[in-house]
Each structure stands twice: as C-alpha cells, then as structure tokens.
Amino acid sequence: MKKLTIFLLAISLHLNAFAQGWPYDYEGVMLQGFYWDSYSETSWAKLQAQADEIAPFFQLIWIPQSGWCNSDYTMGYMPVYYFNQKSAFGSERELRSMIATYRSKGTGFIADVVLNHRKNIGENGSWVDFPEETWNGKTYKMTPTDICGNDDGGTTANWASGNGLSLSINDDTGDDWSGCRDLDHKNPHVQEIIKDYLKFLLEDVGYAGFRYDMVKGFWASFVGDYNMSARPTFSVGEYFDGATKIKEWINYSKGYVAEHPTSAAFDFPFRYRMRDAVESHNWRNLGWDEKPLAFDDYYKQYAVTFIENHDTEYRSEKEPQTPIWRDTLAANAYLLAMPGTPCVFYTHWRDCKYALKQMIMARHIAGITNTSGCEEKWMDDNFYAKAVYGKKATLLCVVGTYPYNYIVNENDFTEILSGKGYRYLLNRVANTVWMDVPDGRYEAPLNVRFTAVSNLSGAKIVYTTDGSIPTAESPQIASGSTLSIESSCTIKAGILSNGTVQGIQSRKYEIFEPHDITLYVHSDITWGNMNFYVWDNKGKTLNGDWPGKRVTKTITIDGKRWYYQTFSITSPDQYLNLIVCNSNATKQTTDIIGIREDHFFCITGDKDGSKYTVEDQTEDMTTGIQPPLLIPVEKGSSAAYNLLGMPVPQGRKKGIVIENGRKIVYQ
C-alpha cells in the first residue's frame, strides 16, 4: 500500500509539472493571425510568406480551427473532421510547412480547438453521421450515444427516437448550442477521441498549445483532464463573462488531479474597459468597474489580454458586432504595456504594424512579462496613466485624448515613443538606448534616431553597424541625433559610462534595392509545355492571364533541365506567387507563395488533392557542389553576375561573383 501511495504521488508530481496553464513570467506576445472570413489574406501560405516580419515580434500565433469542415468557405467553428487537417485556409501540407517555418524562428502556433460541439458529415441527411478517421493505426468514430441527451433542447432526441437511435444518458454540462450536436464529455468514448485528437495536434502537426472555443458549453474540469493528458505549454479558454466567473473557470480547469490551473483565459474585462473608455470619451473607465485578470496578482499569469477579435470586430452591416471604432493605436499601446499576455488582432497588425513593432520593442526593453507589477498614476476624463514594473525598467504608459496633460519628472523618465492618443516613457534606470525604427525592410535612406535612456553621469551612446558588440572605442552619437542608413546592416548600440558599455540594443535593417529574381522549375514527371502563372501580393498578374505564359528558356544543371523566367521585384514589401501548369491547365501545381529571391522548384509527382506539390530545392542548388557553369562575360565589363548568369545589383554582392571577367568572393 505504501509503495502504491508513493507511486501515485510521483505520478501526481510529474503531471503537475505540466499543469501550469500558461508559463509564469512569460515575456511573449501573441498574434491572432486571422479575422472573420480572412481565408485569402491569412491563408497558411500567405502567413508563411510573412514569417520573416512576424516572427521577430510574436512568439505565439493563434489560427482558426484547422480541420476539414466539408467546405472551402468556413471559419472552422462547426467542426467535422479532427485528423484531416485540410481547411478553408489551406491544405494540411501548407499548415505543416507554415508551423515548421515559424518554429525554426522561435514562434509557436496556438490551435483553435472546438470541443463543445461537432457537425455531422452530411451523408443521407442524418444528424448523427460523424466521419470515421484513422491516426497511428487507430480508428475513431463517434456515435449517437456520444451526443448529450438534451441536445438542442430535446429536438435531437426526438429526431433520434423517430429514427430508431438513442443519444447519451447524460445531459449537457454547460450551455446548449443548436448549430451542431453538443458532445457528452462525461462519455469515456468522447474523452478518448478528444485526448488523441489533442495529442495529434501537438505531437504530429506541431502546434504549441490550444485555444479552447466556447468553454461555457462544458465543465472546466474536462479542460483540465484534456490538458493533463496532452500537456500543452499554452492553453487559453474563451469564456465570455466578467472577472469573477472567468476566475472560477480558471480554478476549475485544475480538474481533479492538477495542483495549479491548467489553462489561462481571455481577459474580457480588460477589453470591456477599453471599449467603454473609447466609446464614452472618458478614460476614467480604464480604472472603474471590475478589475481585469491582468491586474490581479494571482490571475495575471493566466490572463490573455486583447482589445479586438473576430467576435467583436465589425464584420458587415448585418453583423456589426461591438468593435472599437477609434483610438485603436492608443488601445494597443495600453494592451502592449500591461501585464498578462497581450494578443494583437491581425487587422490592427496589418494596418498599424510600424507603430505596433515599436510598442512591442518597448515592452521587451522594459522586460515586461505576464506577471509584472503595475501602479495607477493618474485617472481623469482626458487621460489615464499607469506604470508597469518590468524586469529591466519601469514603463510609463499614458493614453487618452490629451496624454501630454500628464506632467512627468524628466529626471526619472525619458519619452521614447508617442502617437495619437498615447505616450511611452521609460525609467532612466534602464541605462539603454532607444532606436526609433524597428527591424524590417525599408527603402534608403533610412534615418534612425537614437535616444539615451540613462541616469549615469557623462553617459554616451556608442554603436556599430556590422553587428559587432560596441566598445568604448566604437563610434559615438549624441542622444537625439539621427543616423542615415544607406545599405542593409545590423546596428548594435549601448550606453558608455566609465569605460563600460551596457544596455545594448540591436536592430536589423534590410535596405531594399529593386532587383530581378529568377524562378527555375524542373519536373520529375512528364509535364508537357511548362507555363508559369505569376502574380504578386498586391494581386497584379505578371505573366499574362491564366494559365500564364509558356516558358521555353532552359538550363541544364547536373543532368537536370530547369525551365526559368526572370521577374522584377520593385518594392520592399512585394513578393511573387507562382503556379506551374501545362498549356491547357489539365495539370497544375499548388500555389507557391511568398517568393522574394531566386528559387528552384521541383515537381515531384506527389499530389495534394488534384494539384501537384513542389519541393523547394533552392538550398541544395545554391549550397551543394554543382558542375561549374560557363558564363560568357566580356572583359572590362562593369556588370556583375552570379554563377547562374544572373545580374547581381550593387550592394547585394555575396559569395562568388563574376565581375570584370574575374571570379571574386564577397564575404
């Protein structure tokens, strides 16, 4: 008996190690990577194409339910399939590719899991014909007895009885919803399928955690049970209510085994306060009413804060919802300065990304986490001021109609960022440097303003532009001065005092130059005429109407014939998309999205539905050992070419380049 007790205790301790709901002292920021009906703009392929820009600023991305729902136009909230991950946003292959790309950059994905209800497959008009699926050699199929006995107010039971079927003996444990069949989470069969489905999402597809939809529909203890089984790093529930009810739900997410809550929750009171402040033109509302989770010492770890999402945004005249119509910059400034884990809405990111990047940088410089402390400094109709105590410094956030009405002691704080309706001021104890241009792609010249945030006597700013760590001997620049950037570089800057450099900050700037890129395509299968249909991210077609133009130029490399065509990239944010097809379009590839540089694509013969998939072999072709290509270059010519014979613009020379008839290695 003693051994059994020790064994059970060991299991309990092991499980509790994974039952934290959301990491303590978490520094990450989350992006809601979609809005309602954003099938095209936030497809998996298009999100992947933005990885270089999004990943440096967001450590988590929440995307819609990714299982197939028997429709190319559905947000996924009426789920049909669990283990088939094709969706209206892209194929399973594209989903996995997107997740892998972001994971390599340190960003994880939050799966939207809809467990309250499930839609029938649609065969024979039956209400209860759920699909049969297989994963890891195991077959899964729900039956009528997996449906709550009182589903849809008893309507489902009446239908079932008339068709010789029976539902579960258990009633629903939460709110009923008539759009689909409510699942009986007391049923061991339902629990088994859901637990394996969640493990599939984490262990197979590669998600980092879950966003539980409509958790008012079933007991929170079931979420605890599912999380203890799947062990996600991140879990957040959608519980529309006030702070008291949300806290109760978080507590019940412990289930029957966990010592701590196994899930965070969206901080709806945080959103309600901001909405009321904006709508009433009275910024006192940020300090009134029920305290949001983010300002509760215990629950802020479990607070995922937001100001807009797909259920509050304006959708249409028929579905106006409850959007924040104005002061979205001020609202986001408040969101990104406060404790909790902020979740930025995609349309705000799309429309205001320059400002949001700066706000996120300020959050990280101060070292603000989901458990940081904060203090209200001022509250009146015209503005609201709050200090947040980060691990590195205090960030003072002032928002409102007249944020400059708040008088700040400049001996203690330095203003680093401002805009319509907001100000950010950083405590001088930070002893660091603020550079007012965030990482990204820009057109030259780029002027970067440096601000010293320091309380040290005689402090100076030193910097480098080659990515090296600045020292006392590095170039200096006065606080408030600007540096003109003409070419791509990584700037590192810090505060020099008494011979020591501290508070080093880094910015990576890619200075765009118009250039040509070449797309190469080889097919391992018989293809016929090779047509390239090309369009850019603005929707402009670059190679004629569908099915594009026939490509006849070829080059043979290592015995393989590659068809190629060259296109121009004319702006920093431009990228190309490609479909390869034959002349009558009876064969075509999947969409290839987000091309900014030379690429080699091989059509392997594998299919995703009716379309052929391609394998990106660019890395193999550019880094592998290939036979030398004989490229005629006139002596005395000032032109520069790479080993494939393509022109290399000034400022982009790297590796082996043929220039003036000679091979030159640029490092």
Q: What is the 3-state secondary structure (H, E, C) of 282-304?
A: CHHHHCCCCCCHHHCCCHHHHEE
- At 125 the three-state DSSP class reads helix
Nearest residue to 20 (alpha-carbon basis) of 234, 197, 172, 240: 234
Summarised one tens digit per residue, pLDDT across range 309-322 is: 999 999 999 999 99
* CB atoms near residue 537 (< 10 Å): 17
Q: Looking at this protein, which amino acid is placed at residue 378?
A: W
Query: How many angstroms separate the CA atoms of 78 and 74, rounded?
Result: 8
> In this predicted structure, what is the pLDDT of residue 10?
36
Predicted confidence at residue 125, as pLDDT, reads: 65
Q: In 3D, which of 578, 555, 579, 551 has the Cα closest to residue 565?
A: 551
Question: Which of 383, 605, 645, 329 lies closest to 518 in space, CA to CA?
Answer: 645
Query: Residue 209 above 50 pLDDT?
Result: yes
The residue length of the chain stands at: 667
Q: What is the pLDDT of residue 644?
A: 53
Give the pLDDT confidence score for residue 258 in this predicted structure.
85
Is the model's pLDDT at 586 over the cut of 80?
A: yes
User: pLDDT at residue 179 above 80?
Assistant: yes
- Hey, do 432-512 and 515-627 end up sharing a CATH topology, with the first three levels equal? yes
Greater confidence, 648 or 100? 100
Give the pLDDT score at 619.
86
Cα atoms found within 13 Å of the Cα of residue 146, Cβ hemisphere only: 24
DSSP class of residue 172 equals P
Q: Where does 2-266 sit in CATH, by number?
A: 3.20.20.80
Q: Taking the CA atoms of the chain, what radius of gyration do you get in angstroms?
A: 28
Which CATH superfamily includes the segment(s) 432-512?
Immunoglobulins (2.60.40.10)
Map tokens 């209860």 to a residue.
128
- For 489-503, 583-597, 620-634, which range has the lowest pLDDT when averaged over its residues? 620-634
Average pLDDT, the chain: 91
pLDDT, residue 630, reads: 40
Residue 6 predicted with pLDDT over 60: no
* Residue 90, both tokens: 């892209």
Q: Is 18:228 a contact under the CB 8 Å cutoff?
A: yes
Given a contact cutoff of 8 angstroms between Cβ atoms, the answer to whether 641 and 650 are in contact is no
Query: pLDDT tens, 387-399?
Result: 999 999 999 999 9
Task: Give the pLDDT mean for 112-127.
Answer: 87
pLDDT category, 454, cuts 50, 70, 90?
very high
Residue with tokens 């000032």: 638
pLDDT at residue 365 tops 90: yes
299 close to 310: Cβ distance less than 8 angstroms: no
Question: 612 and 589 in contact (C-beta within 8 Å)?
Answer: yes
- Structure pTM? 0.89
Nearest Cα to Cα of residue 305 among 315, 295, 320: 295
Mean pLDDT score, 343-356: 97
Residue 79 has pLDDT above 90, yes or no: yes
What confidence category does residue 20 fall into, taking pLDDT thresholds of 50, 70 and 90?
confident
Report d(CA 410, CA 432) in Å as an integer.
16
Alpha carbons 461 and 505: distance in angstroms, whole number: 11
Contact 183, 146 (CB under 8 A): yes
SS3 letters for 451-514?
A: EEECCCCCCEEEEECECCCCCCCCCEECCCCEEEECCCEEEEEEEEECCEEEEEEEEEEEEECC
The tens digit of pLDDT for each residue in 544-555 reads 999 999 999 999
Amino acid in position 92: E
Q: Is the pLDDT reported for residue 659 higher than 70? A: no
- pLDDT tens-place string over residues 157-172: 999 999 999 999 999 9
Average pLDDT over residues 408-432: 97
Q: If you search the block for the tokens 């049923």, which residue do you land on?
A: 187
pLDDT at 655 > cutoff 90: no
pLDDT above 60 (res 7): no
DSSP letter for each residue of 261-274: -S-EEE-HHHHHHH
What distance in Å separates the CA atoms of residue 391 and residue 407, rounded to the nearest whole number? 25
pLDDT at 9 over 50: no
pLDDT of residue 652: 58
**Which residue carries 């100076």 as its tokens?**
460
Sequence letter at residue 504: I
Mean pLDDT of 491-496: 98
- Is-cis flag, bond preceding 445, omega within 30? yes
Does residue 174 register a pLDDT over 60? yes
CA 87/CA 275 separation, integer angstroms? 33
Amino acid, res. 418 = S
For residue 42, pLDDT over 90 is answered with yes
Lowest-confidence region among 8-12, 51-55, 501-505: 8-12
CATH of the domain spanning 515-627? 2.60.40
- Dihedral of alpha carbons 501, 505, 506, 512, sign: negative
Mean pLDDT, residues 558-568 taken together: 95
Q: What pLDDT does residue 127 have?
A: 84
